């Protein structure tokens, strides 16, 4: 049955009838076509991890029933629910596997009780979904257990309690300004907040200043997207006046699609009428999770940079490492020695502002420069790749001018 499904593709629902119910198939398609709309950084990361795992289950393992269970957990997380890791009694397990899984789950719940989901939400989400996957692999008597390795690799991150100074520094990277109803004009309070953001950017030497506009749900979705963009434009312009290099500003707008406070449609809510400013530095994270998530064939380019992946950024048209990038690579080498990944991949990217030939050369030169620096510092980076022209936002988005370093387990 599995072989037939591989041949006919994911759209052949009739061929799946013997393996999964229509509700199962519907839940899988629902999570693959959606995104988190509310919740904490942890629940949003949890949604992304369950979404990636669902995709892995149907594309590589062709396990639609298991995928539907994963999808349902992910959909709950996408609504802001902190879904707990699976209980051992959900699956028939071989007796020798029970003690290790029991101990691992107890440790995981202890990390959550100690605030790991708040301190390191991406790593906590990764560890939880890796545990669920490990449980499934044991129940299926898989000889290779990549999810166990992923869980154990992320466990040291959950143990570490961030010192007060680090917490304070991270808090100083995030700023929010709000707007009057229907307006993109900066208030006096907003201007003061942006002065603080610009000063923090200069002090931290942040490589990227992410500026993202939002609205409440009052008005049409199209109008709100335009208004969110106008708000982001106003903030970016003010930051430029305050001395922030415009090449470092990565701007985006989501309108009413990502609410800070959940409301119904056509609802005025001041806390949703905002622009969020995030200073990108050594602990910056964005999007899904990069790297070899569950030992499958799929890889994500651009993600939460922590235990399994890192990124360094470049100036326009340049492959020269900045001092901040060199400092970041010191952390990469230290993490590699501590976590001992099986593979270290280095992938170079560009924005879309140059010719295809120029971008291909520049992306590879950036990756080669990073690999050489990692090796110079005592690490190792054997696999070098280039993916020119792939961006996360606008064509000139500063986040696209990067090299990702991904750990594989």
Considering the domain architecture, whether residues 372 and 396 belong to the same structural domain is answered as yes
Is residue 35 domain-shared with residue 88, that is, in the same domain? yes
- With cut-offs at 50, 70 and 90, classify the pLDDT of residue 336: confident
List, for residues 195-210, the tens digit of each pLDDT value. 988 888 877 777 678 8
75 within domain boundaries: yes
pLDDT-based confidence at residue 165 (cuts at 50, 70, 90): very low
Task: Determine, yes or no, domain membership for 9.
Answer: no
Does a structural domain hold residue 168? Answer: no
291 in a structural domain:
no
> pLDDT tens, 283-308?
333 333 232 222 222 233 333 333 34
Q: Are residues 329 and 393 in the same domain?
A: yes
Assess whether 195 and 104 both reside in one domain: no
Question: What average pLDDT score do residues 303-332 get?
Answer: 72
Q: What is the pLDDT of residue 327?
A: 82
Please tell me which residue, 407 or 320, carries the higher pLDDT value: 320
141 backbone φψ class: left, alpha, beta (φ>0; ψ -120 to 50): left
The DSSP string of 263-315 is: --TT---GGGSEEEEEEESTT---SS--B-SSSSS--BSS---SSSEEEEE--
pLDDT at 152 over 70: yes
Which has more pLDDT, 248 or 212?
212
Q: Which residues of 12-50 are buried (b: 16+ CB within 10 A; e: fewer)?
A: eeeebeebbeeebbebbbbbbeeebebbebbbbbbbbbb
Question: Do 326 and 250 belong to one domain?
Answer: no
Whether 49 and 125 share a structural domain:
yes
Q: How many domains does the chain fold into?
A: 3
Q: Domain end: 259, 280, 301, which one?
A: 280
77 and 189, same domain (yes or no): no
Indicate which CATH number applies to the domain containing 219.
3.30.1330.60
- pLDDT tens figures, 357-378: 888 888 889 989 999 999 899 8
Same structural domain, 104 and 127: yes
What pLDDT, on the 0 to 100 scale, is given for residue 187? Answer: 93
Domain boundary among 127, 159, 191: 159
At 74, the pLDDT band (50, 70, 90 cuts) reads confident
Q: Where does a domain end: 159, 186, 214?
A: 159
Q: Is residue 269 part of a domain?
A: yes
> Which range marks the domain in which residue 213 is found?
174-280
Domain match, 31 and 84 both: yes
The pTM of the full predicted model, rounded to 2 decimals, is: 0.41
Domain for residue 275, yes or no? yes
Q: CA–CA distance from 157 to each of 53, 181, 189, 269 (Å)?
A: 21, 42, 37, 37
Q: Are strands 383-387 and 343-349 parallel, antiparallel or unpaired?
A: parallel
Domain annotation covers residue 23: yes
Task: Give the pLDDT score at 62.
Answer: 66
In terms of domains, do 39 and 151 share one?
yes
2 inside domain: no
Do 90 and 205 reside in the same domain of the chain?
no
d(CA 46, CA 43): 5
In a shared domain, residues 196 and 121: no
């Amino acid at each position: 049955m599995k072989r037939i499904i591989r041949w006919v593709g994911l759209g052949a629902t009739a061929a799946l009838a013997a393996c999964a119910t229509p509700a199962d198939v519907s839940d899988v398609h629902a999570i693959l076509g959606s995104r988190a709309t509310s919740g904490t950084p942890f629940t949003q990361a949890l949604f992304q991890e369950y979404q990636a795992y669902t995709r892995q289950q149907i594309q590589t393992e062709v396990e639609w029933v298991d995928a539907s269970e994963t999808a349902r957990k992910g959909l709950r997380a996408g609504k802001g629910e902190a879904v707990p890791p699976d209980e051992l009694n959900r699956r028939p397990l071989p007796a020798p596997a029970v003690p290790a899984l029991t101990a691992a789950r107890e440790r995981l719940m202890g990390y959550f009780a100690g605030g790991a989901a708040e301190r390191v939400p991406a790593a906590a989400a990764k560890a939880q979904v890796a545990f669920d996957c490990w449980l499934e692999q044991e129940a299926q008597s898989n000889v290779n257990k990549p999810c166990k390795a992923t869980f154990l690799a992320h466990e040291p991150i959950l143990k570490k309690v961030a010192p007060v100074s680090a917490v304070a520094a991270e808090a100083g990277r995030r700023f929010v300004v709000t707007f009057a109803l229907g307006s993109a004009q900066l208030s006096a309070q907003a201007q003061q907040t942006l002065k603080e953001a610009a000063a923090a950017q200069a002090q931290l030497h942040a490589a990227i200043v992410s500026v993202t506009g939002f609205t409440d749900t009052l008005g049409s979705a199209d109008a709100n997207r335009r208004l969110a963009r106008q708000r982001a434009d106003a903030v970016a312009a003010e930051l430029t006046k305050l001395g922030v290099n415009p090449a470092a500003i990565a701007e985006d707008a989501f309108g009413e699609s990502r609410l800070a406070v959940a409301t119904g449609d056509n609802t005025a809510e001041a806390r949703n009428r905002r622009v969020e400013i995030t200073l990108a530095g050594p602990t910056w994270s964005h999007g899904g999770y990069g790297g070899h998530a569950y030992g499958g064939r799929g890889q994500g380019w651009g993600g939460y940079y922590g235990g399994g992946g890192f990124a360094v950024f470049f100036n326009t048209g340049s492959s020269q490492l900045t001092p901040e990038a060199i400092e970041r690579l010191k952390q990469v080498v230290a993490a590699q020695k501590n976590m001992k990944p099986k593979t270290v991949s280095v992938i170079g990217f560009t924005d879309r502002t140059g010719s295809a030939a120029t971008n291909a050369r520049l992306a590879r030169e950036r990756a080669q420069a990073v690999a050489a620096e990692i090796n110079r510092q005592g690490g190792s980076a054997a696999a070098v790749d280039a993916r020119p022209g792939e961006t996360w936002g606008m064509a000139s988005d500063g986040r696209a001018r990067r090299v990702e370093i991904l750990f594989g387990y």
